[in-house]
Amino acid sequence: DSGVTQTPKHLITATGQRVTLRCSPRSGDLSVYWYQQSLDQGLQFLIHYYNGEERAKGNILERFSAQQFPDLHSELNLSSLELGDSALYFCASSRGPGANVLTFGAGSRLTVL
């Protein structure tokens, strides 16, 4: 158990729907990162939050949004889902905003039918 908790583990939904993925970072970690892993794109950075503030955005679609709450948990919202959004979504956490070691959760596997 890495200490980073992601829910749900698996999610099956239909095109056009909206889903929310949740992440609880390791105790004491202030940074949360979201990554998408797909066969064609590999591991792609989506967004980084540090202590409630957005720090960096990567290849995140406009249909996707995220936030980090005061208790430091984070949610990734995916809307108007398309078949191509099917992927494994990872959350990772670290102590600070810098180049610390990222500890990854087990991932949320999203299947869009």
Under the rule (CB under 8 A), what is the footprint of another protein? Answer: 2, 31, 33, 35, 42-43, 45, 48, 55-56, 58, 88, 90, 92, 94, 96-107, 109
CB closer to another protein, 7 vs 45: 45
Residue 25, preceding peptide bond in cis (omega within 30° of 0): no
- Please say whether the beta carbons of 52 and 30 come within 8 A: no
Q: How far is the CB of 27 from another protein (least distance, A)?
A: 17
**Which are the contacts of 15, defined by CB distance < 8 A and separation ≥ 6?**
81, 82, 83, 112, 113
**Toward another protein, which CB reaches closer, 59 or 77?**
59
Residue 26 or 73: the one with the smaller Cβ distance to another protein is: 26
Decide whether 31 or 74 has the Cβ nearer to another protein: 31
Distances (CA, A) of 84 to 6, 38, 73, 94, 110: 21, 9, 26, 29, 10
Angle at 99 between CA 97 and CA 102, to 5 degrees: 85
